[in-house]
Amino acid sequence: MASAEIAELFRRVTLGLYVVGAADGERRDAFTAAWLTQVSFDPLLLALSVNPQNASHRLLHAGGGFTVSVLEETQQEVARHFGLSSGRDRDKLAGIAWRPGRRGAPVLRDALAWFECELAGAMPAGDHELVLGRVVDGGLLLPGARPLTYAATGDMDGSSALYPARLSA
């Protein structure tokens, strides 16, 4: 199975599309994420897989929490925008309607819904880090809207070049 086929296979694992926000004091950032899921009812926990190379990764740990803005189906461009890396000269939040969450992390005002999480644990997960967030707040902003899915974003994240060349035992 070639890597493009493996990527196609993994698009059948149904995922949503989120903008994850983090802040450390006045420094804040947000990035597009698909690898997020609920993993516990009580306590309410979300698991998020973060690439440690993301600029937001350091902020997330320093700030002790993160926000999640759930994208709706027409927000492909928002997903693309926050999928870009925040460089020294690029503030991805400039020109975007957002508000600070409890710890200052950005919540998108145009999102379908949002969650606020406190960092509850982290462990290495291959080339990513699995972060647990205890949900301490949240809200539904667009009750009738449908969520954007990862499958609908095609190869926006360039993942077909990231999967291994073949599956091995």
Ligand X SMILES: Cc1cc2nc3c(=O)[nH]c(=O)nc-3n(C[C@H](O)[C@H](O)[C@H](O)COP(=O)(O)O)c2cc1C
Q: Contact positions toward ligand X, by CB under 6 A?
A: 29, 31-35, 49-51, 54-56, 79, 83-86, 153, 156-157
Q: Which is nearer to ligand X, 95 or 144 (CB)?
A: 95
Least distance to ligand X from the beta carbon of 155, Å? 9
Provide, rounded to whole angstroms, the least separation between the CB of residue 96 and ligand X: 13
In the complex with ligand X, the residue whose CB is nearer, 80 or 169, is: 80
d(CA 59, CA 49): 15
Shortest Cβ contact with ligand X: which residue?
83
What's the closest the beta carbon of residue 34 comes to ligand X, in angstroms?
Answer: 4
* Least CB distance to ligand X at residue 163 (A): 14
Minimum gap (Å) between residue 168 Cβ and ligand X: 23
30 vs 113, beta carbon nearer ligand X = 30
R_g (Cα) of the chain, nearest Å: 16
Residue with Cβ nearer ligand X (56 or 69): 56
Q: Which is nearer to ligand X, 67 or 144 (CB)?
A: 67
